[in-house]
Structure 1
Amino acid sequence: MAGNASSSELLVLLHSLYEFWTSAAGNTPLEWVAVLTGLACVWLAAKESIWNFPVAIFSCALFVVVYHRVHLYADQGLQVFFIAMSVYGWYEWLYGGARKTELPVSRTRLVEWAWLVLVAVGFTVAYGYYLHHYTDDSVPYWDSFTTAGSLVAQYQLTRKRLENWLLWIMVDVIYVPILWYKHLYSVSGLYAVYLVLAIYGYFEWRKTMRKEQLAAQSAVAN
């Protein structure tokens, strides 16, 4: 009897471990493709590669489906915005500099910060209210806040503002537990990697910006 009980407990344990592993490994193949292309997109952006934009368009299209399945409607809508901003950013990085040249890395101006903060606060309150009262969103205000932060960060990315990475760090810190709570384990893990890449991207872009500034000063001096 004791042996049978031990065998049953072992089977239950193995089954539990199997369930955890299959969940952690990703809910669907679609989710995994979205995860991998999303990771590639952020890595390319951190390396200042123009190819981050076409990869982002493809990845965001997949995430539209992923987020719809788990009722994260703000994040679903955010992916549509990302697709549009990726098209815009693709053009800006190539021709947004002086005389239609490549756009350099720069800092966000104070007046730009002012209107971006106002937009983020207004969006968080208004959209959070909508999600809370008119949808089945399980975390409406957090969902809205991370969406607002992502909107601002994505705009700054398209303009090559250095501080976009600081906003992504803030957003990723919040996204990791929310996505885990929604049982999107692989996507939650992806955002943990995003967090590391955002830190890396900040220091890489800051180094690039300093080099560009020194090169510009040297050109003026000569």
Structure 2
Amino acid sequence: MMLWLSNALDQWQLMHSLELLATLLALAYVILAMRQSLWCWPAALLSTILFTHIMWDSALLSDALLQLYYAAMALYGWWRWQQLKYQHHGANKVSEWPWRRHLQLIALTGSIGLVLGYLMANYTRADFAYLDAQTTAFSVMATWLVARKLVSNWLYWVVIDAVSIYVYAQKHLYFLTLLFMLYTIIAMAGYFIWRANYQQQPQLVLPAR
């Protein structure tokens, strides 16, 4: 009995130590992204490697798949931000889309989230299947918008992060719950900072491609 209890305690400490380290790296990513620092992407890559294990162990399978996508996007984001900085001769510039384009994107992403939720609810052991699937689908989309340096990516993250707070609190992932509380605040600040940057530069409204 004592051996089992000791092993369980060691496992709990390891998991929460990994969660804490991943949380700190993820927080560094968001803060660096808000400052438009290229180094946000290495922090994101390291964080996603740790979170992949944590999400899988917690039966949040959509989130586990999402972390693998984040790892790929960290590599893409590093490359994309370098290209954008070169194109703008070293200046940190951001862009925006018309609101109609966002409505189309929301409808498409929500539909994908419903399909993913159905698959997770009926064919896996996933908890919060539909809610987790929607946050996954919108996180995929919003991360792509970060890599594109679109101002409104932060508004998507405000909603995604607020919903994630509930999910992670229910799964007793306390560091993640705290992280997403901070994320929500940082996302709101990030939006105003990037919007001010956008308003100070020549207007650049990009197509979705």
Query: Above 0.5 in TM-score?
Result: yes
Match of 1:83 in 2: 71
Contact kept? 2:15, 2:54, Cα under 8 Å: no
Q: Does 1:38 align with 2:23?
A: no
Find the counterpart in structure 2 of residue 203 from structure 1: 192
Residue 213 (structure 1) shift: 2.4
Aligned to 1:59: 47
Superposed, 1:169-180 pairs within 5 Å as 169-180=158-169
Larger gyration radius, structure 1 or structure 2: 1
Q: CA deviation at 1:86?
A: 1.5
Which stretches in structure 1 are left out of the alignment for 5+ residues? 1-22, 217-222
CA contact (8 A) 1:94 1:101 kept: no
Say whether residues 1:193 and 2:195 are aligned partners: no
Q: Distance in 2 between matches of 1:181 and 1:89?
A: 31
1:106–1:160: 8 Å Cα contact kept in structure 2?
yes
- Pick one of 148, 152, 161 that aligns with 2:141: 152
Deviation digits for residues 25-80 of structure 1 (CA, Å, limit 9, x no counterpart): 99521111001101111010111111101110110111001101100000011111
TM-score (norm 2): 0.84
CA spacing shift, 1:132–1:111, aligned 2, 3 Å = same
Q: Check conservation: 1:64, 1:79, Cα contact below 8 A.
A: yes
* Farther-moved stretch of structure 1 (166-175 vs 120-129): 120-129
From the superposition, tell whether residues 152 and 135 of structure 1 become closer, same or farther in structure 2 (CA, over 3 Å).
Answer: same
For residues 127-165 of structure 1, give each alpha carbon's deviation from its aligned partner in whole angstroms, at most 9, with x where no partner exists.
Answer: 000110011112100000111111111111010000000
Match of 1:107 in 2: 96
CA contact (8 A) 2:110 2:138 kept: no
RMSD: 2.3
Amino acid at match of 1:48: Q
Deviation for aligned residue 1:117: 2.3
Residues 41 and 56, structure 1, Cα contact 8 Å, conserved in 2: yes
**In the TM superposition, what is the alpha-carbon distance from 1:119 to its structure 2 partner?**
3.0
Partner residue, 2:120: 131
How much has 1:183 moved relative to structure 2?
0.6
Alpha-carbon spacing, 1:98–1:38, altered in 2? closer, same or farther (3 Å) = closer
Q: Deviations over 1:67-96 (max 9, x none)?
A: 011000000111111111121111111113
Percent identical pairs in the alignment equals 31
